[in-house]
Homo-oligomer: A and B are copies of this chain.
Amino acid sequence: MAVYTHVEEEELEAFLADYDVGGVRSFKGIAEGIENTNYLLDAEKGRYILTLYEKRVDQNDLPFFLSLMDHLAHKGIACPVPIRNSEGNQLGELNGRPAAMVSFLEGVSVGRPTAKHCAEVGAGLARMHVAVADFDMKRPNSLAHEGWRTLAQDCLHAADDVEDGLAAMIEDELAYLDDHWPANLPEGVIHADLFPDNVFFLNDSLSGLIDFYFACTDTFMYDLAICMNAWCFERDGSFNATKARRLTAAYGQERPYADAEIAALPILARGAALRFLLTRLYDSINTVEGAVVQTKDPMEYVRKLRFHRRVKGAGEYGLG
């Protein structure tokens, strides 16, 4: 849930004077995204999402995110398209925050994805990875493998409060990943946060990808590993092999795998699980007083990591 910065109608009108969208018909704060303030704007010329970027997003990264959405949209990927103001800029300022307007996307995110949804998101992710081939901006992954040990240092002291023995398991996993992390896999811009919240469907077909604010340059297969963690486990913690097979097969139809990518999937899945385990652990012990965002349970990713540690090969994910 968001809406951190209140925008009054008069402030909106002043901001919109620079945009060719016509008069305002409706303007409502919406509970979408957790990092920024989002409004749904109905104007005479269309529907838009107006985003005010709050402190957790580095302003220097905004041109990367907006250019990426623009690039993807022009390549036919269904994602928000940044609207330019009368000076040709995608980025403006509203109530002291950087602000951007993007096109509105129809569709609804699903709480309980089916195998069909998993296939749709696998294909959609692969199409995005193909589409970034000629996107020439880069952004380092601030939550990449190299940074996990530092992140762990800030929250490891609290791990055993979550589950007895968790700190030792994390230490063990960090050592294993350091020894085995794959190098030289195909890379490019990845979404890095393609959870069900960030994918819209219409009649069970993918209608849009949103929230590119973790996008960065990293290994394509790591993005797929993040998706598999987010989409292919049931709420009871069990792994749904059918969903994983549909996800990975649909991805491969759009972007064929190199052999090394298939071989690396099990370790990338472990890394992706550890990454979300660590950030959830960090957030759970660094909750801001009065924050409206509910922290997510680190244990969900402890269980996922434990599953991946038992996996013997990519075949268990339906690959190879």
Q: Which of A74-82, A106-114, A155-163, A164-172 contacts B (4 or more CB under 8 A)?
A: A106-114
Docked Cα-Cα span, A11 to B23, in Å, equals 35
Q: Do the beta carbons of B29 and A30 come within 8 Å of each other?
A: yes
Q: Do the beta carbons of B31 and A28 come within 8 Å of each other?
A: yes
Q: Which of A2-10, A132-140, A299-307 contacts B (4 or more CB under 8 A)?
A: A2-10
Q: Is there a chain B Cβ closer than 8 Å to A24's Cβ?
A: yes
Chain B contacts of A290 at CB under 8 A? 290
Q: Is there a chain B Cβ closer than 8 Å to A173's Cβ?
A: no
This chain: copies in complex: 2
Q: Do the beta carbons of B29 and A112 come within 8 Å of each other?
A: no
Q: Do the beta carbons of A29 and B31 come within 8 Å of each other?
A: yes
Q: Is there a chain B Cβ closer than 8 Å to A32's Cβ?
A: yes
Chain B contacts of A106 at CB under 8 A? 25-26, 42
Docked Cα-Cα span, A1 to B5, in Å, equals 11
Q: Is there a chain B Cβ closer than 8 Å to A66's Cβ?
A: no
Q: Is there a chain B Cβ closer than 8 Å to A17's Cβ?
A: no
Docked Cα-Cα span, A203 to B23, in Å, equals 8
Say yes or no: A40-B40 contact (C-beta < 8 A), given A1-B292, A3-B1, A3-B31.
yes
* Choice from B11, B40, B104, B203 contacting A30 with Cβ under 8 Å: B40
Chain B contacts of A57 at CB under 8 A? none
Q: Do the beta carbons of A111 and B25 come within 8 Å of each other?
A: no
Say yes or no: A26-B107 contact (C-beta < 8 A), given A31-B3, A292-B292.
yes
Docked Cα-Cα span, A106 to B11, in Å, equals 19
* Choice from B9, B23, B108 contacting A24 with Cβ under 8 Å: B108
Q: Is there a chain B Cβ closer than 8 Å to A148's Cβ?
A: no
User: How many A residues have CB within 8 A of the partner chain?
Assistant: 31
Among residues 51 to 68 in chain A, which have CB atoms less than 8 Å away from a CB atom of chain B? none
Q: Do the beta carbons of A26 and B292 come within 8 Å of each other?
A: no
Q: Do the beta carbons of A8 and B112 come within 8 Å of each other?
A: yes
CB distance from A185 to the nearest CB of B (A): 34
Q: Do the beta carbons of A30 and B27 come within 8 Å of each other?
A: no
Q: Is there a chain B Cβ closer than 8 Å to A202's Cβ?
A: yes
Docked Cα-Cα span, A28 to B210, in Å, equals 14
CB distance from A163 to the nearest CB of B (A): 25
Among residues 8 to 50 in chain A, which have CB atoms less than 8 Å away from a CB atom of chain B? 8-12, 23-32, 40, 42
Residues in chain A within 8 A of chain B (CB atoms): 1, 3, 8-12, 23-32, 40, 42, 104, 106-112, 202-203, 290, 292
6 pairs, A vs B, C-beta closer than 8 Å: A9-B110, A24-B108, A26-B106, A26-B107, A29-B30, A30-B30
